[in-house]
Structure 1
């Protein structure tokens, strides 16, 4: 298989999708959802980045981060996936697909579109009837900041999200 080229551009947000091996629901237990969040925050201390948005579902997660300085998102992802695997005590099983999907955020409109995609994802996959009902995303923080209205994304997909990201 050919080498994937990833382009590190300093101080640019990147949208990332990581999927569990064979789409197995390794992230289904709440303890594993909490563990992946804890690992993300731990890695953030060592490899400086801002976490702009996230959603953790049973077999994949979406994440928007903004690496600071010379930190690159491939190394950040490698560290998160490796630490999670070790701590979840799944060393005898492959938890993650080898690769992950990434997209460099082009501008403010692109960032907003990807945040909407992340926050609507639990509704899209049938985990909840509204983003507000799902605890494992950054939606609540954005709602508190006034970015969303309380009725945003209830029962139907907001405009402009169709076909945004392959899952």
Structure 2
């Protein structure tokens, strides 16, 4: 079994990609309120800042900023995934899901990237904003409803 070692840098923004087990489905946008609630409850227990977030039908991207001295994003993702999974229909179960007590909703892992500098941060913000365009869901970022783009535009962050 693989053992993944995750970086543990405190106070830096972290970009994440998290995907459903069933790529090509619509579970995240069909149950976006459930996802928001899972994030909200987790943030109340284990605070973190949300710099950017975009939810697509079968995956999401976001940038978090954890409190200084706190590097435990893995537990936060475990809680968000578990809370969401308990509230939506089960996915297709393989034997490995059954053995681990999983519901077959999420891919087991997630991808993270610790932001290096201001240019890297700006590039990952744009990536979140424009990902629905890249995937062909909309022609402009402002047309996608499940994005922090709207918050950022109102705040004058989008240029």
Shorter-chain TM-score range:
0.7 to 0.9
Does the residue aligned with 2:113 lie in a helix, a strand or coil?
strand
Query: Which segments of structure 1 move beyond 4 Å, counting only runs of 4 or more?
Result: none
* Alpha-carbon contact 1:51-1:64 (below 8 Å) kept: yes
Gap regions ≥5 residues in structure 1: 150-167
Task: Determine which structure has greater relative contact order: mean sequence separation of CA pairs < 8 Å that are 6+ residues apart, divided by chain length.
Answer: 2
* Alpha-carbon contact 1:16-1:102 (below 8 Å) kept: yes
Counterpart Cα distance in 1 of 2:47 and 2:148: 19
Alignment of 1:93-112 (within 5 A): 93-112=103-122
Across the two proteins, how many residue pairs are aligned to each other?
Answer: 147
* CA-CA distance at 1:89 after TM superposition: 4.4
The alignment's TM-score, normalised by the length of structure 1, stands at 0.82
Alignment of 1:1-167 (within 5 A): 1-25=1-25, 26-29=27-30, 32-68=31-67, 69-90=69-90, 93-149=103-159
What is the CA RMSD across the aligned residues, in angstroms?
A: 1.6
* CA-CA distance at 1:70 after TM superposition: 2.4
* CA-CA distance at 1:41 after TM superposition: 1.7
* Alpha-carbon contact 2:15-2:64 (below 8 Å) kept: yes
Gap regions ≥5 residues in structure 2: 94-102
